[in-house]
């Protein structure tokens, strides 16, 4: 959200800040409960009040954005040219968090929605909020194998050009040949280690932007939505970091380019 003064404001109020030590051998991290504020305001008066509140938070540091919430043993790669064209460890982490939280067969996330990297070492609240800056709700769709294949074909249709529609994935491994024409590049898809079945339905967790057809993923628009996350993606990500640090996500060969 951008305010009238051109500053980036975070739609959060921070409450319940306390020091915890998850395990004896680990560094003490600050446990931060983040309470998302409503994003859709009908009243202009409410909008002005919220802007004033958030401006004061940014100005005086009340948001505590430098609070350490965890740590990573590896650099989390969200570099624009990478996250939008290839598998990265951060893309794997984000989609793993969503798939695990939603209990879905598969999770997908558009590379354009992952906005930053994080250096090896401590992870601050600001780092996490920068990575998933849009605070998208998370939904689980029921999707046929044929529709999933269509989505994957679309995801790699601009390769090798970096594109926000490029998908980071969890629960699947897919292979594609960029020398083939767009729309016929996918050569193999494995779901949980087994070949994709076109007429089988799978549960696919993703953000509300993609589920609504964002980035021209029109194949998702009519998909049955079977579940909605209790918090948005950014909050899921923050909570996961707090509960699972230190993090060591790697590139695992989920997206394989064939020549």
Encode burial over 56-73: b for 16+ CB neighbours within 10 A, e otherwise.
ebbeeeebbbeebbbbbe
**188-196: long-range contacts (C-beta < 8 A, 24 or more apart)?**
189/145, 189/148, 189/149, 189/152, 191/105, 191/106, 191/145, 192/105, 196/145, 196/148, 196/149, 196/172
90-121 burial by CB neighbour count: b if 16+ within 10 A, else e? bbbbbbbbbbbbbebbbbbbbbbbbebbbeee
Nearest to 83 by CA among 30, 132, 153: 132
Domain that holds residue 42: 12-257
**Tell me: the pLDDT tens digits for 154-199?**
999 999 999 999 999 999 999 999 999 999 999 999 999 999 999 9
pLDDT band at 133 (very low <50, low <70, confident <90, very high): very high
Domain presence at residue 150: yes
Whether residue 39 is contained in a domain is answered as yes
Domain-embedded: residue 3: no
Alpha-carbon span 83 to 4, nearest angstrom? 31
Residue 62 pLDDT level (bands cut at 50, 70, 90):
very low
Assigned domain for 90 exists: yes
Is residue 2, in this structure, part of any structural domain at all?
no
- The confidence band for 16, taking pLDDT boundaries of 50, 70 and 90, is very low
Q: How many CB atoms lie within 10 A of CB 151?
A: 22
Length of the chain (residues): 259
Q: What is the pLDDT of residue 54?
A: 53
Query: What pLDDT score does 48 carry?
Result: 53
- The predicted structure's pLDDT at residue 259: 84
Of the CA atoms within 13 Å of residue 240, those in its CB half-sphere come to 23
| Residue 5 resides in a domain | no
Residue 241 lies inside a defined structural domain of this protein: yes
Cα separations in angstroms, 235 against 34, 61, 252: 7, 20, 25
Mean pLDDT of the chain: 85
Model confidence at 47, pLDDT cuts 50, 70, 90, reads very low
Whether 1 maps to a domain, the answer reads no
43-59 average pLDDT score: 49
Identify the CA nearest to 165 among candidates 173, 155, 157, 174. 155
pTM of the complete model: 0.80
- The arithmetic mean of pLDDT across residues 41-54, rounded, is 48
Q: What is the mean pLDDT of residues 50-56?
A: 50
Average pLDDT over residues 127-136: 97
Q: How many domains does the chain have?
A: 1
Q: Which 3 state secondary structure label does DSSP give 15?
A: strand
Taking residues 135-158, report their average pLDDT: 98
Closest by CA to 197, choosing from 106, 72, 67, 61, is: 106
With a pLDDT cut of 70, the percent of the chain lying above it is 76
At residue 112, does pLDDT exceed 60? Answer: yes
The larger pLDDT score, comparing residue 128 to residue 21, is at 128
What CATH number did the domain enclosing 54 receive? 3.90.780.10
Least confident of 1-10, 30-39, 148-157: 1-10
Q: Taking the mean position of all CA atoms in its chain, how far away is CA 59?
A: 28
């Amino acid at each position: 959200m951008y305010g009238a003064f051109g500053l980036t404001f975070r739609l959060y109020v921070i409450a319940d800040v306390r020091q915890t030590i998850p395990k004896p051998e680990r560094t003490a991290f600050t446990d931060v409960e983040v309470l998302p504020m409503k994003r859709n305001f009908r009243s202009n008066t409410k909008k002005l009040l919220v802007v004033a509140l958030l401006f004061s938070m940014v100005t005086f540091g009340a948001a505590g954005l430098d609070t350490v919430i965890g740590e990573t043993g590896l650099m989390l790669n969200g570099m624009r040219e990478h996250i939008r064209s290839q598998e990265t460890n951060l893309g794997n982490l984000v989609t793993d968090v969503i798939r695990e939280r939603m209990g879905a067969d598969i999770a997908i996330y558009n590379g354009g929605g992952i906005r930053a990297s994080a250096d090896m070492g401590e992870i601050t609240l600001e780092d996490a909020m920068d990575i998933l800056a849009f605070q998208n709700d998370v939904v689980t769709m029921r999707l046929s194998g044929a529709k999933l294949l269509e989505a994957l074909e679309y995801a790699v249709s601009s390769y090798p050009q970096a594109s926000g529609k490029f998908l980071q994935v969890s629960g699947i491994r897919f292979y594609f040949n960029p020398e083939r024409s767009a729309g016929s590049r996918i050569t193999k898809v494995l779901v949980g280690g087994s070949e994709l079945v076109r007429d089988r339905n799978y549960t696919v967790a993703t953000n509300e932007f993609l589920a609504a057809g964002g980035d021209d993923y029109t194949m998702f628009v009519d998909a049955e939505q079977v579940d909605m996350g209790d918090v948005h993606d950014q909050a899921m990500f923050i909570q996961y970091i707090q509960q699972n640090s230190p993090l060591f996500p790697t590139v695992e060969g989920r997206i394989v380019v064939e020549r």
